Structure 1
Amino acid sequence: MLAVLCGDTRPPDMRAIEAEAVVRYTDAAGLADALSGADAFFVYDFLSTAVPGAWHAADRLRWLHIASAGVDPVLFPGLQESDVVLTNSRGVFDGAIAEYVLGVVLAFAKDFARSWDLQKQRRWKHRESERISGRRVLVVGTGPIGRSIARMLRAAGMSVAGVGRRAREGDPDFGDVYASSELSRHLPGADYVVAVAPLTEQTKGMFDAEAFAAMKPGSRFVNVGRGELVVTSDLIGALRDGSLAGAALDVFDTEPLPAESPLWTMENVLISPHMSGDFVGWRNTLVEVFADNFRRWRAGEPLRNVVDKQLGYVPSETLRQG
């Protein structure tokens, strides 16, 4: 039996799966009842925080799949200590998020927001814009999404380096990868810092006042990872005092972003509502990824995107093998 946690809508085109298994669709309120007796669990509502509270009812569960790349909503001690296999949806959002990052880099460099404001005022005001070619980017997070970002920015002529768990040279996408423990040493050299690291105990709050103070004057910060990577009050302070020239933020520690947040009215901030990876058809693609793993699970074949529950992400070695 398969339990599926839904939000406002059910996942599209589940007919092939429904033909192979008994499927229980549920919202957060009914999750405990749906988990009782379930062998597999599809967390389609990947922003839900309901799973830990209903975990006591998971009496037969062997596999949990989440419809996102990040697994922090389901990475709690009960799951980590269990024998339940955890898989995610890595690979779905890589290209779309990379396009988003290139888009906001260009928006900052070409001052598109100001052009739009002047257009609405019917004002002709000539300005000079920046080149992005040759500008240095530090991508913090070297998983598949970070790699896709690195490839796209390199193709646009930017100089890219990465920050990951281990330092290494000669990486095909990043060139140099610096250890995350040495992040503060490499922040001063970057014109753009892109946060795309998974949320773990080690990365939570990694962008704080100290990190922003280390960044190059005039640099910009882009967060397409998790809101909790950032100490929001410290980011606001850095934007206000001019330590940062701007920020593009797609994720926040509180979502939706509260109406009273100062970020809404800052002229040097671009805000999007956690949508950098959501291209037309993305929900269908998420179901396709789950359906492929569901077929593998039913056939006893190795699953794709198996998460190391202690690390909180799919190890790179596993990705290469898959």
Structure 2
Amino acid sequence: MVVLIGDVHPRGMDDVERRANVRYVRETELADALPGADVLFMWDFLSEALAGAWPRSGGPAWVHIASAGVDRLLFPGLVESDTVVTNSRGVFDEPIAEYVLGLVLTFAKDLHTTVRLQAGRRWRHRETERITGARALVVGTGPIGRAIGRRLSAAGLAVSGAGRTARDADPDLGVVHPMERLDEALAEADYVVLAAPLTPQTRGMIDAAALDRMRPSARLINVGRGALVAEADLVKALRDGRIAGAALDVFEDEPLPESSPLWDMPNVVVSPHMSGDVVGWRDELVRLFAANFDRYVAGRPLHNVVDKRLGYVGSPAR
């Protein structure tokens, strides 16, 4: 039996439904549906219901989530079980890279100010910045970070990375700094792009100390996970002019509360967790799951298997 959690039934599940008993459930029905389930498809990737519904013994053989991040799944019961976890790695790489390039251009060409001035019918000439030769640090060397690196390099930025393993000549990111030397790398960047998974090691990695290391002219772009950034520290740094701006697609609490000062800051771009959501993205997610379901039925190794101890799909030299 395949259990899919989510309030909306996705299109494209027909082939899976022909070969399996597929049950669509809401969060409140999950605990009753899990016993006897072979596969769980976490279509509602923002749901945190699984930890509370997880059976004391047994559990599905395979859990798949419709996102690249798996931090909501890695509670002790699942991590310690024999259940295989897979994610939707590959669906969002290029769309997020395009989005990041758009944000870099927004800051360099002051487009957010132009839109605001137009809304007020105000004519105010300004000078803008070049992106050619600007330095971008991409924190996170998985597929999304690599796609970002390629896209920014093609636009003329000088790109470096930060990841678990240091390298001098990475094909996508150039010099990759080890995470333990992140503070040194932050000090050299005009744009700091967060594309790292959320793990105990990366939670709150951009705090007051890290922000103090950044250049006063630097901008922070977060398309990873909201909890990578200590939000209160970021607000203070922006207010104090310690960095020049931030573009945030993810937040500690989502939706971003109306009371958040980030909404009203002129040097901040707020978007509602949409950097990877291009037209047709839901269909791509279903196609990826269906292809992996074919492998599951055939007894073949699954794609995108997450190392539950690391918190992401493991790969050499990442």
Give the TM-score of the pair, scaled to structure 1.
Answer: 0.97
Letter paired with 2:143: P
| Aligned counterparts, 1:293-304, within 5 A | 293-304=292-303
Aligned to 2:308: 309
User: Could you tell me how far 1:26 is from its partner in structure 2?
Assistant: 0.5
Aligned to 2:187: 188
Aligned to 1:4: 4
Give per-residue Cα distances to partners, 1:163-199, cap 9 Å, x unaligned: 0011111110111101111101111100000011000
Question: 1:306 and 1:42 mapped to 2: Cα distance?
Answer: 14
Letter paired with 2:258: A
Runs of 4+ aligned structure 1 residues displaced above 4 Å come to none
Aligned to 1:83: 82
**Cα contact 2:164–2:317 (8 A) shared by 1:** no
Letter paired with 1:13: G
Question: 2:194 and 2:202 mapped to 1: Cα distance?
Answer: 10
Aligned to 1:137: 136
Q: Which moved more, 1:54-63 or 1:239-248?
A: 54-63
The structure-2 alpha-carbon separation of the partners of 1:318 and 1:45, relative to structure 1 and needing over 3 Å to count, comes to farther
The structure-2 alpha-carbon separation of the partners of 1:35 and 1:318, relative to structure 1 and needing over 3 Å to count, comes to farther
Is 1:239 the counterpart of 2:238? The answer is yes
Question: 1:60 and 1:289 mapped to 2: Cα distance?
Answer: 22
**Cα contact 1:25–1:34 (8 A) shared by 2:** no
Aligned to 2:226: 227
Aligned to 1:275: 274
Letter paired with 1:112: L
Number of residues of Structure 1 aligned to a counterpart in Structure 2 = 318
Cα RMSD (Å): 1.3
User: Could you tell me how far 1:217 is from its partner in structure 2?
Assistant: 1.2
Give per-residue Cα distances to partners, 1:133-183, cap 9 Å, x unaligned: 000000000000000000000000000000001111111011110111110
Aligned to 2:101: 102
Aligned to 1:33: 32
User: Could you tell me how far 1:115 is from its partner in structure 2?
Assistant: 1.2
Aligned to 2:177: 178
Letter paired with 2:257: P
Aligned to 2:111: 112
Question: 2:275 and 2:165 mapped to 1: Cα distance?
Answer: 27
* Unmatched segments (≥5 aa) in structure 1: none
**Cα contact 1:184–1:211 (8 A) shared by 2:** yes
**Cα contact 2:193–2:220 (8 A) shared by 1:** yes
User: Could you tell me how far 1:277 is from its partner in structure 2?
Assistant: 0.4
**Cα contact 2:39–2:60 (8 A) shared by 1:** yes
User: Could you tell me how far 1:58 is from its partner in structure 2?
Assistant: 6.6
Letter paired with 1:197: A
Question: 1:60 and 1:231 mapped to 2: Cα distance?
Answer: 35
Is 1:18 the counterpart of 2:13? The answer is no
**Cα contact 1:305–1:318 (8 A) shared by 2:** no
Letter paired with 1:2: V
Question: 1:235 and 1:13 mapped to 2: Cα distance?
Answer: 41
Question: 2:111 and 2:204 mapped to 1: Cα distance?
Answer: 30
Give the TM-score of the pair, scaled to structure 2.
Answer: 0.98
What is the SS of the residue equivalent to 2:54?
helix
Give per-residue Cα distances to partners, 1:223-249, cap 9 Å, x unaligned: 000001011000001000001100000
Question: 2:120 and 2:307 mapped to 1: Cα distance?
Answer: 53
Is 1:200 the counterpart of 2:199? The answer is yes
User: Could you tell me how far 1:60 is from its partner in structure 2?
Assistant: 4.6
Question: 1:269 and 1:118 mapped to 2: Cα distance?
Answer: 15
User: Could you tell me how far 1:33 is from its partner in structure 2?
Assistant: 1.1
